[in-house]
């Protein structure tokens, strides 16, 4: 056999979908053994689709982490949901995740909402009941009954994306569905996201983690400048945090600039770990009224 011929393996694309805060980003990070998607306790942290590459013996699976499926009239949120729905198309399988630790009280119309999402799925789909480390087995039965009536899932799997419990079985089932093919990415490439994009996401994560309920959803991050100095093993980043109202600026800056310094320090440490070099991070805060409803600005953010 010609040594230059690409190896034929089992390969394909799998979409991770489900309601907000179900644990999709945690699942991606745990499966890959490294942090690719940002994670916070707040729902709707993930705004863009991001691919993580899972390599194993004789297979490569590209996992698409997607924004949470939810109803909204806000243009930003509608774009997020559309990103998630578009990711369900042309994939080999879908993993639909729900948070099994939350008290199960299906609101009126919730079944119809989720059924509409699942009708977009044309590939084999698995239902993942996540966070079983926080719930009892008997509490899973109503969830299984509810979702099984909405869609003919290929399988139902209780898992913990945080601890890794049940994930070996998930990977085995996904690999079995992958067709023969070639690798999408080299083994040393864990994601399709650029370092610039990941840096912006890390900054946004720190805004989510270090500010209250209002600021995270009113904030967006753009990298204005990303300069690499290979001789000094240094990357200098200028990034802007956009907010919607003037009253929010004082909150994110903090007293004597303490809050923005806290955000910058935490983000810089994570970015240095990501880039494996020293980072100089400059953060700016600007007001852009109603940016979440501004289609032109949403395009700048990658929607």
HEC sequence for 51-67: EEEEEECCEEEEEEECC
CATH 3.40.50.300 fits 9-181, yes or no: yes
The yes-or-no verdict on residue 61 having pLDDT over 60 is yes
Going by C-beta distance under 8 Å and a sequence separation of 6 or more, which residues neighbour residue 24? 16, 17, 18, 37, 46, 65, 66, 68, 97, 161
38-42, 65-69, 93-97, 286-290: least confident range: 38-42
Predicted local distance difference test score (pLDDT) of residue 2: 52
Predicted local distance difference test score (pLDDT) of residue 106: 64
Predicted local distance difference test score (pLDDT) of residue 31: 97
pLDDT band (50, 70, 90) for residue 277: very high
State pLDDT tens for residues 164-178: 999 999 999 999 999
| Between residues 284 and 138, the one the model is more confident about | 284
Predicted local distance difference test score (pLDDT) of residue 25: 95
User: Based on C-alpha coordinates, what's the Rg of the chain?
Assistant: 20
Beta strands in 174-277 (DSSP E): 180-181, 220-229, 234-243
The yes-or-no verdict on residue 183 having pLDDT over 90 is yes
State pLDDT tens for residues 203-225: 999 999 999 877 888 999 999 99
Domain ranges in the chain with CATH number 3.40.50.300: 9-181
State pLDDT tens for residues 136-174: 777 888 889 999 999 999 999 999 999 999 999 999 999
Query: CA 32, CA 30: separation in Å to the nearest integer?
Result: 5
Predicted local distance difference test score (pLDDT) of residue 137: 74
Which run of H or of E encompasses 85?
Answer: helix 75-86
Query: CA 300, CA 134: separation in Å to the nearest integer?
Result: 39
State pLDDT tens for residues 106-128: 655 678 888 999 999 999 999 99
Average pLDDT over the chain reads 92
Which run of H or of E encompasses 97?
Answer: strand 93-99
Tokens 């904030």 sit on residue: 219
CATH 3.30.300.20 fits 195-300, yes or no: yes
Tell me the CA distances in angstroms from 66 to 25, 95, 102, 191, 240, one per residue in order: 8, 11, 21, 14, 24
Residue 264: count of CB within 10 angstroms of its CB? 18
In 3D space, the residue among 68, 113, 65 whose CA is nearest the CA of residue 217 turns out to be 68
Residue 146: count of CB within 10 angstroms of its CB? 15
Tell me the CA distances in angstroms from 269 to 19, 40, 237, one per residue in order: 30, 17, 13
pLDDT band (50, 70, 90) for residue 5: confident
Predicted local distance difference test score (pLDDT) of residue 276: 93
Q: Is 190 helix (H, G, I), strand (E, B) or coil?
A: coil
The residue-averaged pLDDT of 51-79 equals 93
Predicted local distance difference test score (pLDDT) of residue 41: 87
14-18, 67-71, 93-97, 124-128: least confident range: 67-71
Beta partners for residue 95, in sequence order: 16, 126
Domain ranges in the chain with CATH number 3.30.300.20: 195-300
Predicted local distance difference test score (pLDDT) of residue 108: 57
Predicted local distance difference test score (pLDDT) of residue 1: 47
Q: Is 207 helix (H, G, I), strand (E, B) or coil?
A: helix
Predicted local distance difference test score (pLDDT) of residue 109: 64
The yes-or-no verdict on residue 53 having pLDDT over 80 is yes
């Amino acid at each position: 056999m010609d040594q230059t011929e690409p190896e034929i393996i089992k390969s394909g694309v799998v979409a991770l979908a489900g309601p907000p805060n179900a644990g999709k980003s945690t699942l991606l990070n745990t499966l890959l053994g490294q942090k690719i998607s940002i994670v916070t306790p707040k729902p709707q942290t993930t705004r863009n689709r991001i691919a993580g590459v899972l390599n194993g013996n004789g297979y490569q699976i590209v996992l698409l982490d997607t924004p949470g499926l939810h109803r909204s009239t806000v243009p930003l949120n509608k774009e997020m949901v559309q990103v998630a729905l578009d990711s369900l198309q042309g994939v080999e399988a879908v993993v639909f995740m729900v948070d099994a630790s939350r008290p199960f009280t299906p609101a009126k119309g919730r079944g119809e909402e989720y059924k509409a999402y699942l009708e977009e799925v044309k590939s084999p789909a698995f239902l993942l009941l996540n966070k079983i480390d926080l719930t009892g087995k008997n509490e899973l039965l109503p969830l299984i009954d509810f979702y099984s009536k909405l869609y003919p899932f290929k399988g139902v799997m209780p898992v913990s994306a945080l601890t890794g419990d049940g994930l070996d079985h998930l990977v085995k089932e996904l690999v079995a569905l992958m067709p023969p093919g070639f690798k999408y990415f080299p083994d040393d490439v864990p994601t399709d996201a650029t370092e610039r994009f990941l840096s912006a996401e890390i900054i946004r994560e720190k805004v989510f983690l270090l500010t209250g309920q209002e600021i995270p959803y009113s904030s967006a991050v753009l990298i204005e400048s990303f300069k690499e100095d290979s001789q000094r093993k240094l990357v200098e980043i200028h990034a802007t945090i956009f907010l919607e109202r003037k009253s929010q600026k004082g909150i994110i800056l903090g007293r004597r600039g303490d809050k923005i310094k806290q955000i910058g320090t935490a983000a810089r440490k994570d970015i240095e770990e990501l880039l494996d070099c020293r980072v100089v991070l400059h953060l700016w805060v600007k007001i852009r009224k109603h940016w979440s409803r501004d289609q032109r600005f949403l395009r700048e953010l990658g929607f």
